Amino acid sequence: MSIHKTLGEFIVENQTDFPHAKGELTALLSSIKLAAKIVNREINKAGLVDITGASGIENIQGEEQQKLDMYANEVFKNALIARGEVCGIASEEEDHYVFFDNQNSRNANYVVLMDPLDGSSNIDVNVSVGTIFSIYRRISPVGGPVSMDDFLQVGRKQVAAGYVVYGSSTMLVFTTGNGVHGFTYDPSIGVFCLSHETMTFPKSGKIYSINEGNYSKFPMGVKKYIKYCQEEDDTTNRPYTSRYIGSLVSDFHRNLLKGGIYIYPQTAQAPTGKLRLLYECNPMAFLAEQAGALATDGYTPILDLKPTELHQRVPFFTGSVDMMDTAHQFMAEYKEK
């Protein structure tokens, strides 16, 4: 029987990458690890207890929250406040940012932004879902309350980001700016074990992930790229394969392992895009770049976009470099005036 390095051991071993953190970031990641275990347990109960389906409550974006959305949000929030390493959080499920008003939290150096349960509508049909998180150092004075500026930092200021995919096996994938590493959860001993060290996107791929049901509403550059993916061409190994799960974490994770591109563009109904810059695009873009891929809004690197509001939406393109380069060519050629 082989013995794998645990997530806790890996974090401690690599703590020297953050001499300024003094163990705080280690404790913060441990809080996320604990919350992920709890959410994983509840997801595995789905169908056995009354925790699936809609809650009857709408979030600030006017979307109906699922029961598990709200549950996961509370689990992660409670885990993060418990250790006092986080002074506040912003969540897709919260109207406003949340300030942790206790002495330990006031003196904390980090804020966390998160999508507690990405793709939660897929729970009812037993399809993989995930959690996305993003960590920044606060810029407001330590000892006082957090400010909006702490959360509206450009993506390149992230000190760590990652996701948990709850599927046939549960994996936690994260980066602290020194590569991307994946840990698979072993429920028999209750630990995340290092299973994918230094993960990288293949330079090319054969998978394109996009909701083609919205084809008629896409910008012309996206339409032309989809047609390009579908054309036969032996020199570029086309046609490509269409694979779309409808959970950003799951689609991104598959493309990270196999090579591919994920596109969620603007549409006529959502002219600024649909995915949230702070909770989904920034953390995934950080992971993508650390894994040797690209992430843009079709033109500009996601990590260079300056956030202007908590629930800001943007178009999102991410994936293997060769596929992204071709998509960018189509976007530039057919850029709408």
**Contact assessment for residue 159 and residue 25, using Cβ atoms and an 8 Å cutoff:** yes
Q: Are residues 195 and 74 in the same domain?
A: yes
**Domains in the chain: how many in total?**
2
Mean predicted lDDT score pLDDT of the chain: 90
Model pLDDT, residue 63: 60
- What percentage of the chain exceeds 70 in pLDDT? 91
Q: Are residues 41 and 120 in the same domain?
A: yes
pTM: 0.93
pLDDT for the residue 53: 47
Calculate mean pLDDT across residues 202-214.
96
- Asked, for residue 1, whether it belongs to a domain, the answer is no
Residue with token string 């909770």: 279
8 Å CB contact between 201 and 182:
no
- The pLDDT, as a whole number, for residue 127 is 77
Q: Where among 155, 177, 199 does a domain terminate?
A: 199
Does 149 belong to an annotated binding site? Answer: no
Residue 59 binned pLDDT confidence (cut-offs 50, 70, 90): low
- Using 50, 70 and 90 to split pLDDT, how confident is the model at 124? confident
90 & 177 share domain: yes
pLDDT in tens, 129-148: 999 999 999 999 999 999 99
Q: What is the mean pLDDT of residues 254-283?
A: 96
Same domain, 187 and 216: no
The pLDDT confidence band at residue 257, using thresholds 50, 70 and 90, is: very high
Looking up tokens 């550059």 gives 221
Q: What is the CATH number of the domain that holds 248?
A: 3.40.190.80
* Pair (122, 51) in one structural domain: yes
Last residue of a domain, one of 143, 171, 199: 199
Q: Following DSSP, what letter does each residue of 75-120 receive, concatenated? A: HHHHHHHHTT-EEEEEETT-SS-EE--SHHHHT--EEEEEEEEETG
Structural element, H or E, at residue 184: strand 180-186
Looking at residue 259, its pLDDT comes to 98
What CATH number does the domain containing 81 carry?
3.30.540.10
In a domain, 317, yes or no: yes
Question: Burial of 189 by CB count in 10 Å (0-12 exposed, 13-18 middle, 19+ buried)?
Answer: exposed
**Residue 325 is labelled as binding a ligand:** no
**Range(s) of the domain holding residue 286:** 207-333
C-alpha to C-alpha distance for 171 and 253, rounded to whole angstroms: 10
* Same domain as 166, residue 63: yes
Query: Same domain for 186 and 127?
Result: yes
Position with higher pLDDT, 98 vs 43: 98
| Least-confidence region, from 55-64, 154-163, 196-205, 241-250 | 55-64
The answer to whether the annotation marks 31 as part of a ligand binding site is no
Consult the annotation and say whether 115 binds a ligand. Answer: yes
Is pLDDT above 60 for 294?
Answer: yes
For the chain, state the CA radius of gyration.
20
The phi and psi torsions of 148 (rounded to 5 degrees) equal: -60, -30
Please check if 280 is assigned to a binding site.
Answer: yes
Is there a binding annotation on residue 117? yes
Same-domain status, 149 and 39: yes
> Is 2 within the bounds of a domain?
no
* Residue 62 among known ligand-binding residues: no
Q: Is residue 184 part of a domain?
A: yes
H helix or E strand, kind and range, residue 169: none
Give the mean pLDDT of 230-245. 94
Domain boundary, last residue among 166, 199, 232: 199
Query: How high is the pLDDT of residue 57?
Result: 57
Phi, psi of 141 (to 5 degrees): -60, 130
The predicted structure's pLDDT at residue 299 = 97
